Structure 1
Amino acid sequence: MGATGAGKSSFINSLLRCLGQDKRVKVGEELVSCTSQLESIIIEEQTNHWKRIKGHRIVIVDTPGFDDTYVGDFVILQRIARWLEESYRKRMVLGGVIYLHDISQDRFSGTARRNLEMFNHLCGDSALDKVVLVTSKWGRAFGRNLERREGELKNNHWKTMLDGKARVERLVAGEEDASAWRVVRSILDRVETRAIEQSKSEALQIQKELVNRRKFLPQTHAARELRTQLQQMLEAQTQMLALEADAVGGNAEAQAQLQEQEAKVKKMALQIENLKVSMPKRLARWLKLVMGA
């Protein structure tokens, strides 16, 4: 997981190259996202080094960021939640969650913060020991002190997660393939130290909410966080539109840009509406639980 452009697809390709696999996932070369759907990559015959997990396959899932160019955040959340729910119902072992962050970014942007907050609410505090925070694009230092930037992430933005036993790794410049395998291998080592049945029972917060507690997606912590974020953005955008409308006058180009912004605001409002659970749905779920009891 991670923001658009953090190098999620590149990480997977580095891993596949290191393991001698022919398959590759598409990597975006522009400032737009190229991963809108979740893509599962299955890797066979790479766990024979371990005793308890010997013979198990590895499944790596490439996910879009919550700032996708073409798809709204609510749809992204739906897709990620659906995959996590189905995998949990099938009792698949979720060995770890890798979060990619572009270390070459000059500042910790609002987009990076939003993605990190959503990631936190998906995982929950009890699953932080499954999390590996991976810094990418060290080859873009160009004389800048990226080690200091990594220190700022550890001491500020990631501190709570690290206190919860999350770990930090690097995709070393020029050694990306080996670094990617080292990250995955560290996750497999962790699964090996625990019984398989114990690992199956460990889950992310959103998996427990959807399956164990039978919540609707809009009732989960992740969805409520997304709704709050979108509501704040909607209020700011609405105020800005009101100011721009007064300044447009008879400028045709400005009017066209204003209409485009208005369409985005309407789309955001629709996402917020989708993140609410209707009363009939609540009642139907309650009756189902009562009848089941």
Structure 2
Amino acid sequence: MTPYNADIKLIAVTGPTGAGKTTFINHVCGSNLKVGTGLRSCTANIDVASCTMDDQKIVLIDTPGFDDTSKSQAEVLDDIGKFLKQADERELKVSGVIYMHRISDRRVGGIARENFRLFEKICGEGAMKNVLIVTTMWEDVDERIGQAREQELATKSLFFQTAMKQGASMDRLQNNPDSAKWVVSRFLPNPYRRLQMQRELVDENKQVPETEAGGILSDILKQQQERHQREMNKLREELQRESDRAEMSRIREELRRTKEELRRVKRDEEKLQGGAGGILRFLRAGYRVEYRVLLCWKVYRILEPQ
């Protein structure tokens, strides 16, 4: 199949909600994507903007974060996987991936580390040279504190050290168009490298739950279930020992919230592994799974040769 434009630079912009992905894209392309409301398009999952830099067409893709408040982690991974599969089948080459991290965060919590583990498995070691970890929100932190955090992120295996040893780079992003365009310019000389998840989905004909990223997410969800179950057991024990009515009411409310969170995680695991409406359940039953079209009319319009 002939690609829409063999010379295009398709760059995926990833990272947690609130890291500045949409603002960054608007700075680069002069676009007006809506900031602060997640990813919006004809599928409500992805948005794109384009520009020309050094006579080369650039398309930036705003991808969902795994901490998205409107979608589960399984749904986000499924959407990303389907997009990557369709892009690969249509020879729409992803030339780079940007992962945004807020340098203003006082600590990198467990959820953020889990999300980066998923990101690493989506990209794979072979594509890490096309990955740029971009630290944002420098205007919200003292320079010396930010520099110390930056050093910690780059040198500790708990954070980004492994990815950087595999070829990923790190850079700072200031909140202005010049800085954003500089970040994108770093991808211009990059050769195309397929992501690990694309090879798994296209060459190995795997489904999203069967990929390495799917396996990591399954482990994460099981760990979350175990943690919530332990919390519930502890709260029940506290409730049995407590006699103060106000404190009992507080414990019951906390127990209710924990139960709801446990149910949410179980639903997420079902979506990933083939419960009601899950992908693998249909495959095992012999049904054909239709992929939703994530490359909506906006993407096609941008990629069509002029």
Q: Normalising to structure 2: TM-score of the pair?
A: 0.77
Query: Contact between 2:39 and 2:47, CA under 8 Å: does it hold in 1?
Result: no
Tell me how far apart the structure 2 counterparts of residues 149 and 229 of structure 1 sit (CA, whole Å): 25
**Aligned residue among 265, 270, 274 for 1:268:** 265
Give 1:14 deviation, angstroms: 1.9
Task: Report the TM-score when normalising by structure 1.
Answer: 0.80
The answer to which structure has the higher helix fraction is 1
Equivalent residues of 1:3, 1:111 under 8 A apart: no
In the alignment, structure 1 segments of 5+ residues that lack a partner are: 192-198, 286-293
1:161 matched residue in structure 2: 163
Read off the aligned partner of 1:154 and give its amino acid letter.
A
Would you say 1:228 and 2:228 are equivalent positions? Answer: no
Task: Please tell me whether the aligned partners of residues 228 and 261 of structure 2 are also in contact (alpha carbons under 8 angstroms).
Answer: no
Mark the CA change 1:66 to 1:149 in structure 2 (over 3 Å): closer, same or farther: same
Which residue number in structure 2 is paired with residue 76 of structure 1?
76
- Structure 1 residue aligned with 2:296: none
The reply on whether 1:34 has 2:38 as its aligned counterpart is: yes
141-150 or 266-275: bigger deviation? 141-150
Q: CA deviation at 1:144?
A: 4.6
Letter in 2 for 1:106: R
SS in structure 1 at match of 2:188: helix
Rounded Cα–Cα distance in structure 2 between residues aligned with 1:90 and 1:228: 32
Opposite residue 263 of structure 1, the aligned amino acid is: E
Asked if structure 2 preserves the Cα contact closer than 8 Å seen for 1:130 and 1:166, the reply is yes
Cα offset for 1:282? 4.5
- Please state how far the C-alpha of 1:147 moved relative to its aligned partner: 1.0
**Same amino acid, percent of matched pairs:** 30
Q: RMSD value over aligned CA atoms?
A: 2.2
* Counterpart Cα distance in 1 of 2:80 and 2:35: 19
Equivalent-residue separation in structure 2 for 1:280 and 1:138 (angstroms) = 47
Question: Displacement, 1:167?
Answer: 1.2
CA displacement, residues 207-227 of structure 1 (integer Å, 9 cap, x when unaligned): 111111110111000110001
Does 1:25 pair with 2:11?
no
Instruction: Report matched runs for 1:62-211 at 5 Å.
Output: 62-142=62-142, 144-156=144-156, 157-172=159-174, 176-191=176-191, 199=192, 202-211=193-202
